[in-house]
């Protein structure tokens, strides 16, 4: 683990520390843990050291144990860590609010835990490779200390207010560790800027910078409830998602300076279409979030949209929603382009027999 200077620590402290009943009720949550690295200690085959970051409390824990990093997991220092062994050690470690240790040693014979306070490995947040915000001449920047009333929302995301700008209930998406995150944030910021005319994406309000003008994240309005948290879904929500994807795919590849590989140049994609990345506000307006965060095993936007619709099909209302979701799935499973599918679906109504016949003809012609 790299050493840190005082300038690398989180500024300001991102969250209040849990205490009392709230702390006692807050169990370890895999969704709130992030892997930094796992590997053998220097000069030794065993034991291994797992450096895990608690996103909710913004604390590092180094776990030293006789358990190798599973080779089938991706070599990504910023990935969500889901090895049950390391997580089970954390669950055994007890009180999350204790500040008398940041290192846990596991006895390889009986599995007992020894807690140590290692002053070399601070419990602050090391940030690697931060850079000035991209598109600085187009997007305003605000200092991180202008963010007030910060509250944990999900993983690296908080709600906050910015009194100096009159903003309430905005969302701060922040870089926690850097490295791959910096590249992904730069890509997302560029994509959101290029999509600023589309109604299916939240507008960028500002980039957030630290005391050295390095980007720590960005602000957008609050977008609403994730699609999978809604009690029912409407078929037009998926048509809106499709229209948002069409807007993304229309971005010229050369417009994104972060593109590196041949695959990137073939198609600009959302990269992580799923129910949690589709938000619906109180008025029913829909937004796609987390654009440009594609993983190696991502099946592509089209396949991901099909999978999401299949997962949520049981939430569709009876009648129009149920019928048109099935028709849309059939169309997506064929060879029509996404823009052509949107045109076919745009005026579709189950009560319009001729329209349904046209849907069936279009689907049958490409199946």
pLDDT category of residue 35 using cuts at 50, 70 and 90: low
pLDDT at 139: 94
Least confidently predicted of 23-27, 129-133, 232-236, 268-272: 23-27
Beta strand 206-209 pairing with 286-288: unpaired
* Whole-model pTM over 0.75: no
pLDDT at 233: 94
* Alpha-carbon gap, residue 104 to 111, rounded angstroms: 11
Least confidently predicted of 18-22, 156-160, 341-345: 18-22
Q: Which domains does the chain have, with CATH numbers?
A: 6-116 (no CATH), 141-220 (3.30.200.20), 225-366 (1.10.510)
- Phi then psi for residue 324, to 5 deg, are -75, -30
pLDDT at 16: 53
- Secondary structure class of 156 (helix, strand, coil): coil
pLDDT category of residue 275 using cuts at 50, 70 and 90: very high
**Percentage of the residues of the chain whose pLDDT score is greater than 70:** 68
131 close to 179: Cβ distance less than 8 angstroms:
no
Taking 3-state DSSP, the helix, strand and coil percentages for the chain, each rounded to the nearest 5, stand at 35, 20, 45
Nearest to 159 by CA among 172, 145, 146, 148: 172
- Secondary structure class of 304 (helix, strand, coil): helix
Indicate whether 20 pLDDT > 90: no
Contacts of residue 69, defined as CB under 8 A and 6 or more positions apart, other chains included, come to 38, 39, 48, 50, 83
Q: How many C-beta neighbours within 10 Å does residue 289 have? A: 22
Q: Which residues pair with 160 in a beta bridge?
A: 170
pLDDT at 80: 41
- Dump pLDDT digits (tens) for 47-98: 787 777 776 666 677 888 887 765 555 544 444 445 677 777 876 776 565 6
Q: Where are the alpha helices (DSSP H) in 30-165?
A: 84-92
pLDDT at 211: 81
Indicate whether 158 pLDDT > 60: yes
- Dump pLDDT digits (tens) for 218-251: 999 999 999 999 999 999 999 999 999 999 999 8
User: Which element (helix H / strand E) includes 280?
Assistant: strand 278-280
DSSP 199-229: TTBPPP-EEEE-TTS-EEEEEE----EEGGG
Nearest to 37 by CA among 63, 57, 15: 63
């Amino acid at each position: 683990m790299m050493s840190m200077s005082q300038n690398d620590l989180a500024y300001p402290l991102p969250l209040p520390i849990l205490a009392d009943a709230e702390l006692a009720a807050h169990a370890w949550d895999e969704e709130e843990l992030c892997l930094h690295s796992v590997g053998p200690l220097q000069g030794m085959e065993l034991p291994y050291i797992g450096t895990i970051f608690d996103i909710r409390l913004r604390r590092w824990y180094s776990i030293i144990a006789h358990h190798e990093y599973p080779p089938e997991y991706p070599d990504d220092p910023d990935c969500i860590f889901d090895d049950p062994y390391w997580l089970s050690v954390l669950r055994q470690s007890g009180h999350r609010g204790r500040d008398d240790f940041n290192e846990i040693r596991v006895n390889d014979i009986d599995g007992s835990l020894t807690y140590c306070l290692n002053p070399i490995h601070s419990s602050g947040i090391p940030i690697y490779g931060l850079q000035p915000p991209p598109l600085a001449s187009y997007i305003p920047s605000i200092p991180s200390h202008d963010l007030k009333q910060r509250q944990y929302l999900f993983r690296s995301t908080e709600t906050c207010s910015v009194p100096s700008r009159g903003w309430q209930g905005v969302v701060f998406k922040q870089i926690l560790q850097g490295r791959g995150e910096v590249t992904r944030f730069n890509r997302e910021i560029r994509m959101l800027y290029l999509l600023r005319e589309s109604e299916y994406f939240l507008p960028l309000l500002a980039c957030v910078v630290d005391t050295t003008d390095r980007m720590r994240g960005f602000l957008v309005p609050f977008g609403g409830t994730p699609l999978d948290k809604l009690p029912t879904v409407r078929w037009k929500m998926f048509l809106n998602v499709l229209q948002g994807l069409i807007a993304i795919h229309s971005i010229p590849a050369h417009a994104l300076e972060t593109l590196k590989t041949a695959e990137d140049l073939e198609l600009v994609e959302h990269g992580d279409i799923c129910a949690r990345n589709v938000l619906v506000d109180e008025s029913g307006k829909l937004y796609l979030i987390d654009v440009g965060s594609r993983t190696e095993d991502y099946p592509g936007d089209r396949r991901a949209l099909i999978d999401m619709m299949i997962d949520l099909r049981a939430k569709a209302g009876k009648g129009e929603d149920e019928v048109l979701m099935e028709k849309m799935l059939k169309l997506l499973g064929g060879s029509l382009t996404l823009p052509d599918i949107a045109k076919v679906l745009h005026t579709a109504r189950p009560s319009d027999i001729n329209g349904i016949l046209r849907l069936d003809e279009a689907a049958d012609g490409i199946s």
